[in-house]
Structure 1
Amino acid sequence: MLSLYRPGNGILHRMPAGPKLLLLLVLVLAVSLLPSLWWAAGAAATTTVAAYALAGLDDGMLGMRELARQTIALRWLIVVTLGAQLIFLGPEPAVANTARVTCAVLLAGLLALTTRVSALLDAVERGLRPLERLHVDSGRAAVLLTVTLTTVPVLARLAGEVREAQRARGARPGVRFFAVPFLILSLKHADQLGEALSARGVR
């Protein structure tokens, strides 16, 4: 299964998958609940920068290179979210809401960057095991949650790979030239994901 995991020795790498998942969920929730004010945009950005700096991603720039890479991958989300809200809400709420959404996605991406998929799957499955008394299949639920948490950053990485390949070949930028290879890579990822799930016995 394609993963964004980056080996490292930082705080988040050393944390067990379960507590790390809870910590990042709390941070995402805290950022999401900030008000639509200027200071909230700054608070969300500061939280995200601090989280990447402490993550120990070993990119030579205290995580800032990886943060920049992830932010660039989300640029169309930023443009669409900001543009739509500027029209209907005005500058302050548009900037604050866009910052909150972007930072929430970036913080969630840290989970995929610092946690192996197998470790995350096992942690979620253990956490959901008490729900089996209510006839909840903890294994299937864990797979669903894990796939959901890891798919967005993986697709962002695939989009970045397509753009880099186009630049290397000198291809013209455009939706048509981007969409076809991105769709092919996304379908290939879906096949790999299906094979990984089948190997785990999920039907």
Structure 2
Amino acid sequence: MLTLYRPGNGRLHRMPAGPKVLLLLAVVLGVSLLPAVWWAAGAAAAVTILAYAMAGLGDGMRELGRQVRSVRWVVAITLAGQLVFLGPEQAVANASRVVAAVVIAALLVITTRVSALLHAVERGLHPLQRLRVDPQRVALLLTVTLNTIPVLARLAGEVRDAQRARGTRASLRLFVVPFLVVALKHADEFGDALTARGVR
């Protein structure tokens, strides 16, 4: 399974996967529930900077910059779509909350091995077996989702970098088709990998 985990010895790296999931989930939920006003955009940015500063990554601000750059197309699309239907204040606040939530959630996959994340989610969902919920399948689904968001952001960055290297001007129309091609190719390869491991 493709993972964005980066070895380290920071605070988040040392924290057990279960409490880490709950902590980051609470932070993401808190950011998502901010109102759509100007100060919320600043608050979302401040919480994100604080999260990366306290994560103990060593180069936290550089990593934050990498994560924000990797979702720049998410920022552009979200902001443009919101500006069409909402005013500038709501558009900026909503885009800030979305970006902050995605970037903070990325801390989980950056600082947690996939195996540890799977075990933590399985343990947390174990009591639901009485309700015929399969903890292994749910854990796999959540883990794949958490890993896919930053992977797609990275693929978007690679497509844009390739276009820039060829001298292609920045255009959403010219970006979407090659991005969909590489995203679908990744999904197909990932599905084949899961099938080869007996996951259906």
**Alignment correspondent of 2:7:** 7
**CA apart distance, 1:181:** 4.9
Alpha-carbon separation, structure 2, partners of 1:10 and 1:119: 16
Alpha-carbon separation, structure 1, partners of 2:128 and 2:185: 33
Q: Can you list the C-alpha shifts for 1:93-136, whole angstroms capped at 9, x where unaligned? A: 22211111111111111111111112111111111111001111
Q: Across the two proteins, how many residue pairs are aligned to each other? A: 200
The answer to which of 126-135 and 63-72 deviates more is 63-72
Normalising by structure 2, we get a TM-score of: 0.87
Identity of counterpart residues, as a percentage? 70
Q: Go from structure 1 to structure 2 and tell me whether the alpha carbon gap of 1:193 and 1:51 turns closer, same or farther (over 3 Å shift).
A: same
Q: Go from structure 1 to structure 2 and tell me whether the alpha carbon gap of 1:125 and 1:199 turns closer, same or farther (over 3 Å shift).
A: farther
SS at match of 1:50: helix
List aligned pairs for 1:139-158, cutoff 5 A.
Answer: 139-158=136-155
Normalising by structure 1, we get a TM-score of: 0.86
Q: Can you list the C-alpha shifts for 1:123-177, whole angstroms capped at 9, x where unaligned? A: 1111111100111111111111111121111111122223334444555555576
The answer to which of 116-125 and 133-142 deviates more is 116-125
CA RMSD of aligned residues (A): 2.2
* Structure 1: runs of 5 or more not aligned: none
Q: Go from structure 1 to structure 2 and tell me whether the alpha carbon gap of 1:45 and 1:182 turns closer, same or farther (over 3 Å shift).
A: same
Asked if the contact 2:28–2:104 (Cα under 8 Å) also holds between the matched residues in 1, the reply is yes
Please tell me whether residue 74 in structure 1 is matched to residue 71 in structure 2: yes
Please tell me whether residue 107 in structure 1 is matched to residue 104 in structure 2: yes
**CA apart distance, 1:12:** 0.9
Deviation >6 Å, runs of 4+:
none
SS at match of 1:101: helix
Alpha-carbon separation, structure 2, partners of 1:110 and 1:151: 13
The answer to which of 76-85 and 175-184 deviates more is 175-184
Alpha-carbon separation, structure 1, partners of 2:183 and 2:145: 14
* Structure 2: runs of 5 or more not aligned: none
SS at match of 1:29: helix
What amino acid does structure 2 have at the position aligned with 1:39? W
